[in-house]
Copies of this chain bind each other. A is one copy, B any other.
Amino acid sequence: MKALNTLRVLPLFSNVTDEDADLLSRNSHIRSCKKGEFLFMHGDEITHFYIICRGVMQIFRETPDGHEITNDLFIAGDNVNVEEIISKQSIHTMNAKAVEDTSILEIPISWLKSNFNKLDHIAAILIADISQRLHNVQIEAEHQSTMSATQIVACYLQRLCILYNFDPKGFDLPYSKTLIASRLRIELETFSRTLKNLKEQGIIVSGSHVSFTDVEKATKFACESCSMSEDCTAHNYLHTRLKKSI
């Protein structure tokens, strides 16, 4: 089965039993969204649970005045709407748009719900995923009100580096600056300006190319006013990562 192989690559199904995998592949299929296409829109009925196989999805809302507010950017391996398969609401509260050509595994929500107990292992992962998301959102909300725009950007660049397993010494931004700024809830102009400040903090950005020239300084700068600094994953990871790359 083609679908079965695809399934196994996804973190969610990495160590699922053969029969479960088989069950899933029979009840799901791959859907593709061209760049700019919507996977679902605010107000649509919630019909499926989605997992991204390839590409990037922008999750966003629109304010009454038409302003777009990016809530998250999901990449391969991410579950798009875990929280929704559980909540009572039957309608999407957000929009999901493909940032680039994207493939999505879709599983009918009704099927998933009725088989939730049987798929013990998967249920556990989904739940862990939600609580992880909750934690991340809380941290980010805290960052918003604690850190300067420059610190927020520094922090984000570090996380990008980890998320995509980029070499801190030099990598290219995976999305447009406009999208990143929106994701970080700052204006494009402000974002652009922060990049200059980052030079002093050991991060050089020119065009879409980023390089950490002084990881020590950069992480210290990004984490200095963060309550999580001690156990900041970005902080610790980048250090070990850099040592390897030297």
Q: Mark A residues whose CB is within 8 Å of B.
A: 61-65, 67, 69, 71, 82-84, 86-88, 93, 117, 120, 127-128, 130-135, 137-138, 140-142, 144-146, 185, 224-229, 231
Contact = CB atoms under 8 A, between A and B. Distances in A.
A82 B134 CA distance: 11
A152 B159 CA distance: 30
A224 to B, nearest CB: 7
A86 B144 contact: no
Given A93-B231, A141-B141, A144-B144, A225 B63 contact: yes
Given A185-B145, A225-B64, A131 B130 contact: yes
B135 A141 contact: no
A210 to B, nearest CB: 24
A137 B231 CA distance: 22
Contacts of A128: 86-88
Contacts of A228: 61, 93
Contacts of A185: 141, 145
A202 to B, nearest CB: 19
B86 A227 contact: no
A86 B131 contact: yes
Contacts of A84: 131
Given A67-B146, A140-B141, 14 more contacts: A61-B142, A61-B228, A63-B226, A64-B229, A65-B225, A83-B134, A83-B135, A88-B128, A130-B131, A133-B134, A137-B141, A141-B141, A141-B185, A144-B145
A185 B138 CA distance: 12
Contacts of A145: 69, 144, 185
User: What are the 7 tightest A-B residue pairs by CB atom distance, in nearest-first order?
Assistant: A61-B227, A83-B131, A145-B185, A141-B141, A86-B131, A134-B134, A87-B131
A40 to B, nearest CB: 16
A146 B69 contact: yes
Nearest to A61: B227
B86 A142 contact: no
Contacts of A229: 64
Nearest to A60: B227
A142 B182 CA distance: 12
6 contacts: A63-B146, A67-B146, A71-B138, A83-B131, A87-B132, A127-B130
